[in-house]
Structure 1
Amino acid sequence: MSSAATPEVLWAQRSSKTEAAKNFIYLTISVPDVQPANLKLQLKPQGLTFSGHSDSLKRDYHVELEFYAEIDEKESKINHTAKNVEMVLRKKELKEEFWPRLLKDAKKVHFLKTDFDKWVDEDEQNEAPEDDLGGMGGMGGMPGMGDMSSMMGGGGDFGGIDFSKLGGGADAGDEEGEEEDDDDDDEMPELEDEEKEGEASSSKPKIEEL
């Protein structure tokens, strides 16, 4: 792969001594338009190897990274998009402190850059927007979080509609009840009229007899 170019690699991180899900590395390999058949990504506890061919740039890319510390590849997430390969790499050791750097070797490399869109300072990470942690959803780790929140919102709307329907049903029932009462009231005079008619009819024969 001597003729292959080295892709730009962006990274940021979070750390936690108690919550494994908040103890991870954001890693993005910026190579666009790599078909799945042309992509090879090997993830290991100590590092990763990436190879890919960009159709739009018509170029091969290759990079090997050896991490500062171990990751848990089984708990890590990978999301391949048309723009890049995004990863959330779970740090194996729960630790409050940040890794001092991404790579084991302290030597600076030109292709590795800080992902300022995702980066927060170590002492401010607990105040980071939820989107920073929710970004894991895009990696396939928690795809339901954003959807669930929207569903919950939608559920609230549905609940409102149901409640209004239930309320409307109760009102409709009351109106029907009132109508029934009115019908009963209307029937009473009819009964009285029938009784009067009965009395009148019973008095008619007496008149005829006379």
Structure 2
Amino acid sequence: MSRHPEVKWAERNDKVYLTVVLPDAKNSKVNLDPEGVFTFSATAGSDNLYELKLDLHDKVNVEESKINVGVRNIFCVLEKSEKKWWSKLLRGDAKAPHYVKVDWDKWVDEDDDTGRPAGLDLGGMDFSKFGDMGGMGGSDEFDDSDDELDEEVDKPEDKADDKVVGEGVAAKAKVESLQSL
């Protein structure tokens, strides 16, 4: 009986990223059909057989697609036949199998696929709503003014006072550093 490896996926307008997570895979066989059928088989561990067949949502361009068999995983960049977003990875109305998961490291929302710099990876997080969090944005509640720094501070003249002030400053700094954790 064969097992199913974990598969992570993400997409762009023109391609789908598939990562078959199977460390130390041996005798890997990957096949991609233009109709969108992706098959994989390999052995790993104590010669356990892993097999996979995915009926992708739409057709792919086999000639332009790339497959890289690595030590820890098999990484595939599948070029779509038509540049359009898919509503899901697999054909049919059934829910995706439990071993097929979203690759959040590569995920980009359809609205965000507009030429973001290649090195910038925000993990698909949407920061646009952060200003709407109660009391967290646009508020003068945390004013960064330096008004307090304009006041002069008298130095203590007695050595005993220096020690008390020094200990108070050290204690305050320790409390502030603990609060920042």
CA distance change for structure 1 residues 130 and 107 in 2, over 3 Å: closer, same or farther? same
- Alignment RMSD, CA only? 1.8
- Secondary structure of residue in 2 paired with 1:123: helix
Report whether the alignment pairs 1:88 with 2:74: no
CA distance change for structure 1 residues 8 and 127 in 2, over 3 Å: closer, same or farther? same
Matched residue count: 119
| Equivalent-residue separation in structure 2 for 1:132 and 1:99 (angstroms) | 24
Report whether the alignment pairs 1:10 with 2:8: yes
- Secondary structure of residue in 2 paired with 1:100: coil
Query: One-letter code of the match for 2:93?
Result: A
CA distance change for structure 1 residues 132 and 28 in 2, over 3 Å: closer, same or farther? farther
For structure 1, which runs of at least 5 residues remain unmatched after alignment?
16-22, 134-210
Q: Which has the larger radius of gyration?
A: 1
103, 110, 114: which one pairs with 2:90?
A: 103
Fraction of identical pairs, as percent: 39
TM-score, normalised to structure 2, is 0.62
Report whether the alignment pairs 1:67 with 2:56: yes
Report whether the alignment pairs 1:52 with 2:42: yes
For structure 2, which runs of at least 5 residues remain unmatched after alignment?
122-181
Report whether the alignment pairs 1:25 with 2:16: yes
TM-score, normalised to structure 1, is 0.53
**Going by fraction, where is helix more abundant, 1 or 2?**
1
Per-residue Cα deviation, 1:116-168 (whole angstroms, up to 9, x for no partner) = 000011101225440489xxxxxxxxxxxxxxxxxxxxxxxxxxxxxxxxxxx
- Secondary structure of residue in 2 paired with 1:50: strand
| Equivalent-residue separation in structure 2 for 1:5 and 1:81 (angstroms) | 19
The structure 1 segments of at least 4 consecutive aligned residues displaced by more than 6 Å after TM superposition are: none
**Deviation of residue 106 (structure 1)?**
2.6
| Equivalent-residue separation in structure 2 for 1:41 and 1:24 (angstroms) | 18
Report whether the alignment pairs 1:34 with 2:32: no
